[in-house]
Structure 1
């Protein structure tokens, strides 16, 4: 499991200048590599430039410009070239999919705000002064920069990135951690509706506010639990008592009143209960699929589908859906 940490940096005046120069030179490298690709493609030969070809040129570039390009980490420069390569890969992927291509653009120095170090210890070192009570990160060409580390970094540090946000500098660290032991099962499930009347309402009827989606997924992963997103359509219009769905069931933003059976509740609570049931249906269907008997060798799921008669296949689908629905509404 990979976990990210973000800490504020406290550079000296000289270190802040060096950090700005580092971004400037990596931006120049990015734009130069982009220009080379453009020029090569515009040439009558339609030459295609790849990451490997540009990475091989780094040694000569560093030798030619020792005061700027030769000052920084070789690995971080390779990471910048990989970033450009990923931009082109995404560009060609969008063309293939028929989407708006969005050709990679040149970056202004004020819009190039991150330098990546692919491996701790190669051009960078977290906790570079372990005998000092202050945590520092060593960055090649910059020095030992103070880190405002407000929490411990658990696991093995994999990558280090330096990021500028306005006038502040941050270090972003990714660390690999072992998968946690799942917390004991509670025997219960809960649905959460992100509503309008209330930001969040759970299927027990309680309300809370805050930016929590990222935290929710992270905490669930750490506990060995599952967060499942479901289609929210009609979840606040479907009656949890009888299943009748109609927009007339919502006479006001907060009120739910089923026009068929008369059931009344808070609209967001109704939405949360329907989210829970929809999630249970999906989970039960996924479990049934995983537990299905293995296919005979040489036959795909699609081949088995066509081998069965439409009537029997439809009946099986109906039976499975009915069973899952009954479990969810029980």
Structure 2
């Protein structure tokens, strides 16, 4: 199995290197915005979309022109990759996977990438990395980097520069040691309810944003009272960024620990195919048709986004593959309204947020536990319906399938 993995470290640049880092990030942002402006003018004039190859010629003209000669001070490969990022943004827009590309702002997600591994030198023994036109950079070496370096991304987060090293290596993935299949029901009151056919496990929500909400609001109010772009305003802005960074770090740490434990202890993970973007969409409506219960829906949206459901599923997907497991996404419709005993489905079965009571057979249980049981059964049936033959391993009458020969070679989860 071909494993691609990124290792992120905080770097400790000198004063001169910090100046260059900001200069290079600004140059990449300038190229992205200028190329986007060219694309918009071309579209208004009725022209066709300009691809990356043709747009790269514009970059050559900008670097050699009299108006922007300072672009030559930045390495060319990160500038080219900024054009590739714009091209990918347009392709995602054409495929209706994302909104129309927007101009980048200074101080928001400043980053750039070195895509050529031949120009990158990594010295793990001395905790340093060499990048073009930056020289040797010290980094906080907290773990060993495994595999062949493919590219390096440099980013600014809450006033600290970080380097992300993407590697690639071949690993042998054996059959998962656990025969258990688990269904996971996500929620707000309970972050995750797990059912593996024998017992229930409940993961309580961290509510990282909710814990720091008042402190963040206070820092934002203090920032709004400062004169914009003054020194005091910059200090207040840095305080807001640090709080946001703490919220995100706490959430990511919780999700990584939870997904690691689940992927290591279960061979088959069944989750709901939730459309988080649609679920957290604003209910404000329009002037002609204003929405209803906007305040309540706003609170629900905030709680959903605070849980990190999308990131939870993304981490489960690749960690299950690394552990030799399998992840299946099932339709979320009526998972908590169907009785797991008799199969009767009705909206009235969900009496309250926490209570499930079947109107047909009288079966009573926690609604989240019922949802996780149904998700697990639907995941098993989905794989069986796709022709994946189950192996001789049962847990309370349920089987988890063998996926030998069903994935492409670089993503094979189970050994044949």
Report what 1:116 is aligned to: 113
Matched, 1:255 2:255: no
Find 1:233's aligned residue among 306, 309, 333: 333
Matches within 5 A, 1:1-330: 1-41=3-43, 46=47, 49-59=50-60, 61-64=62-65, 68-94=70-96, 102=100, 104-111=101-108, 113-122=110-119, 125-127=120-122, 129=123, 132=126, 135-203=127-195, 204-209=199-204, 210-211=254-255, 212=259, 213=312, 214-287=314-387
Is this contact kept in 1: 2:75–2:132, CA < 8 A?
yes
In 2, the alpha carbon distance for the partners of 1:34 and 1:59 equals 16
- How far residue 57 of structure 1 moved from its aligned partner, in angstroms, is 4.9
- Name the CA distance, whole Å, in 2 between partners of 1:38 and 1:185: 54
CA deviations over 1:238-291 (Å, ceiling 9, x no partner)? 111111122332333222222221222222211111100010110101126x99
CA pair 143-152 structure 1, distance change in 2 beyond 3 A? same
Taking the aligned partners of 1:153 and 1:130, their CA distance within structure 2 comes to 8
CA distance in 1, matches of 2:180, 2:95: 42
Which of 4-13 and 208-217 deviates more? 208-217
What is the deviation of 1:183?
3.6
Q: CA RMSD in A?
A: 3.0
Q: Deviations over 1:168-222 (max 9, x none)?
A: 2111222112243224453332211113442111112121234242443332111
CA distance in 2, matches of 1:155, 1:268: 41
- State whether residues 33 and 81 of structure 1, in contact with CA within 8 Å, keep that contact through their aligned partners in structure 2: yes
The structural deviation recorded for 1:48 is 5.4
2:286 alignment counterpart: none
- After superposition, the Cα gap between the structure-2 partners of 1:247 and 1:139, relative to the gap in structure 1 and judged at 3 Å, is same
Q: Using a 3 Å threshold, how does the CA distance of structure 1 residues 218 and 152 change in structure 2: closer, same or farther?
A: farther
**Structure 1, unpaired ranges of 5+:** 292-325
The structure with the larger Rg is 1
Aligned to 1:52, the other structure's residue is in SS state: helix
Encode CA deviations 1:156-177: one digit per residue, 9 max, x unaligned.
1111111112312111222112
TM-score by length of 2: 0.60
Secondary structure of the residue aligned to 2:137 is strand
- Tell me, in whole angstroms, the C-alpha distance in 1 between the residues paired with 2:180 and 2:342: 22
TM-fit CA distance, 1:151: 1.8
CA offset digits 1:37-61 (Å, max 9, x no partner): 44445558x4754322332354554
> Cα gap change, 1:42/1:276 in structure 2, threshold over 3 Å: closer, same or farther?
closer
SS at match of 2:329: coil
Q: More deviation in 137-146 or 62-71?
A: 62-71
**Is the 1:180–1:222 Cα contact (8 Å) retained in structure 2?**
no
Do the aligned partners of residues 85 and 197 (structure 1) sit closer, same or farther apart at CA in structure 2, a change above 3 Å counting?
closer
Structure-2 residue corresponding to 1:311: none
TM-score by length of 1: 0.74
Distance verdict in 2 for CA 1:255–1:193, change over 3 Å = same
Distance (whole Å) between structure 2 residues aligned to residue 252 and residue 73 of structure 1? 59
Secondary structure in structure 2 of the residue aligned to 1:190: strand
- Structure 2: gaps (5+ residues): 205-253, 260-311, 391-396, 400-416
CA distance in 1, matches of 2:167, 2:124: 18
